[in-house]
Structure 1
């Protein structure tokens, strides 16, 4: 017998079964998946870094 893993949707916090039954996992639906994608695209979310400049900013400065 396998154990069922339940996670919370990152967007709405609804419980989601982590498995084939949930095709949008970890999201509960396509809607929540697209909301999250939109937040990343609008740069409302980002991965924290220790540097103020991005790698592309450093590259452009070195080229000058």
Structure 2
């Protein structure tokens, strides 16, 4: 198991700390985390839209 260096214990799903990753992988990880946030925001918007239109149809 990889030794953790000053890692946030709340990020248990990550196998190693960001500081242990090569620069290219850290950049890719940041891109993916940004994409996840964007998709979560879109999902929230769509969920609220569905609820609004479902309520309106009644």
With normalisation by structure 1, the TM-score equals 0.32
The structure with more helix, counted as a fraction of residues: 2
With normalisation by structure 2, the TM-score equals 0.34
The structure with more strand, counted as a fraction of residues: 1
